[in-house]
């Protein structure tokens, strides 16, 4: 992952130093369990921890140099440890296979990454809730197909996002639990040369559950679910980012990204204030979703294992989580500092001569005894005049001048259908559904 879209805490999870540290803990905990079972001397396990307690620097270049000869990363690591621990190191990895180390380590890394992402979602949810209540009753136009529809509030837009990201949090929490499994089952997963009690011990020490049945590797449907969940979260990020981008368009300008002092929007046009952060979020969301298909394709491995998944996960594990972490933090900042323009929202609401109230007139005519077909025809023929005038005409006034309409509705009854507050009468109910009782 490139530094431009990385944050240190998440990046650290995927560093070589962290990976080798986890590998050591897996091996040392397994050796402890083997010692308790009498399979290896207790001194062997103690020797590992004595060396580790000295807080040795993990020499990544040295391990890489050994791997250049062995062409095997786990053997290279074990060889490097043995060079420092001494003869007792020969009791490491008893009955284990490389995938026991690699898959269990990946589970630890993904659960740690998930914990950061869950915290990111909590921060975003808090900001969305605060801004939603701030603009709970700020009226704005709702749009369908990009066209003015009926009034909503800006708070409702943010409440919708809050509900969506709440669902995403639940999905990620489930995916985290699903991915947090440990496999220390040996070649082809039969425990032939290592007891299941060793797996249970390592799992407990690392905060994982045991994999009920592994085939030398942890089944990759778990991983596919995890990365698919990240892809869904990325899509939700893009959905909200696209909303901000549309609202920032010059002809709309109901909200916009914060533009800091000294910021420049264009190298050529000094007047530009572009939605660069949310455009960036759209791009980052595409990247995260791009990692979902490889994760799905990793599910179908040959027989008890192959390593076609390995190279894929070395890419998508770090890149997907690091990118999503950055994107969630960026979106939180965008919403936190989002500039909102209620006056412009009201101006846009009023722009089309009251067309946003057309359905209320339609319903009033049907309730007054006019057929639905005729009601639609009467409202639409007046609405089209307003549309074609670009809002310079008033729908209410045209309706009051239409004899067929006034035969069913009085001018006062027509005016009563142009009440903005009518559209917002259930905002409290929706907020209670989303956020709970105040």
Catalytic hit among 145, 260, 267, 271: 145
**Residue 154: other Cβ atoms inside 10 A:** 24
DSSP character for 341?
Answer: -
DSSP character for 306?
Answer: -
Q: Do you know the residue count of the chain?
A: 438
In sequence order, the 6+-apart residues with CB closer than 8 A to the CB of 55 are none
Catalytic hit among 15, 72, 266, 371: 266
- E strand intervals along 308-437: 339-340
Q: Any catalytic annotation for residue 166?
A: no
- In three-state form (DSSP H/G/I as H, E/B as E, the rest C), the secondary structure along 171-219 is HHHHHHHHHCEECCCCHHHCCCCCCHHHHHHHHHHHCCEECCCCCCCCC
**Residue 138: other Cβ atoms inside 10 A:** 20
- SS3 assignment, position 128: helix
**Residue 96: other Cβ atoms inside 10 A:** 26
Residues in a beta bridge with 147: 144
Among 283, 282, 273, CA closest to 242: 282
C-alpha–C-alpha distance, residues 63 and 82, integer Å = 12
Kindly compute the dihedral angle of the four CA atoms of residues 64, 70, 74, 76, in this order, to the nearest 10 degrees.
-50
In sequence order, the 6+-apart residues with CB closer than 8 A to the CB of 322 are 1, 5, 6, 7, 10, 11, 14
Among 357, 289, 368, 365, CA closest to 324: 289
Q: Any catalytic annotation for residue 266?
A: yes
Residue pair 48/40 in contact by the 8 Å Cβ criterion: no
Residue pair 139/346 in contact by the 8 Å Cβ criterion: yes
Q: Could you list the active site residues?
A: 145, 266
């Amino acid at each position: 992952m490139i530094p431009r879209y990385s944050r240190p805490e998440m990046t650290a999870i995927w560093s070589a130093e962290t990976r080798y540290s986890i590998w050591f803990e897996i091996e040392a905990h397994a050796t402890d369990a083997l010692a308790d079972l009498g399979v290896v001397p207790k001194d062997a396990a103690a020797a590992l921890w004595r060396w580790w307690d000295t807080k040795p620097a993990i020499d990544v270049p040295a391990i890489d140099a050994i791997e250049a000869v062995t062409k095997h990363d786990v053997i290279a690591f074990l060889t490097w440890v043995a060079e420092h621990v001494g003869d007792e190191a020969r009791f490491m990895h008893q009955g284990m296979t490389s995938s026991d180390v690699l898959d269990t380590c990946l589970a630890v890394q993904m659960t740690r990454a998930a914990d950061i992402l869950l915290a990111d979602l909590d921060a975003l949810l808090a900001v969305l809730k605060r801004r939603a209540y701030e603009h709970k009753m700020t009226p704005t136009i709702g749009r369908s197909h990009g066209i003015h529809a009926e009034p909503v509030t800006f708070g409702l837009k943010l409440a919708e996002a809050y509900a969506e990201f709440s669902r995403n949090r639940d999905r990620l929490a489930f995916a985290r639990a699903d991915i947090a499994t440990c496999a220390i089952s040996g070649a082809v997963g039969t425990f032939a040369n290592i007891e299941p009690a060793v797996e249970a011990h390592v799992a407990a020490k690392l905060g994982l559950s045991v994999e009920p049945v592994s085939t030398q590797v942890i089944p990759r449907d778990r991983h596919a679910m995890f990365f698919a969940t990240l892809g869904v979260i990325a899509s939700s990020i893009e959905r909200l980012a696209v909303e901000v981008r549309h609202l920032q368009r010059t002809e709309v300008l109901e909200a916009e990204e914060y533009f800091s002092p000294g910021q420049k929007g264009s190298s050529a046009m000094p007047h530009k204030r572009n939605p660069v952060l949310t455009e960036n979020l759209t791009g980052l969301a595409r990247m995260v979703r791009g990692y979902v298909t490889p994760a799905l394709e990793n599910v179908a491995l040959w027989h008890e294992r192959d390593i076609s998944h390995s190279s894929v996960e070395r890419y998508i594990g770090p890149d997907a989580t690091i990118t999503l972490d950055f994107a969630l933090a960026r979106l939180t900042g965008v919403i936190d500092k989002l500039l909102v323009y209620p006056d412009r929202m009201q101006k846009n609401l009023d722009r089309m001569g009251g067309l946003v109230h057309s359905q209320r007139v339609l319903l009033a005519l049907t309730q007054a005894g006019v057929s639905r077909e005729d009601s639609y025809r009467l409202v639409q023929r007046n609405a089209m005049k307003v549309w074609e005038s670009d809002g310079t005409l008033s729908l209410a006034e045209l309706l009051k001048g239409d004899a067929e309409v006034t035969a069913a509705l009085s001018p006062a009854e027509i005016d009563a259908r142009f009440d903005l507050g009518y559209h917002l009468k259930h905002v409290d109910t929706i907020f209670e559904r989303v956020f709970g009782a105040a």
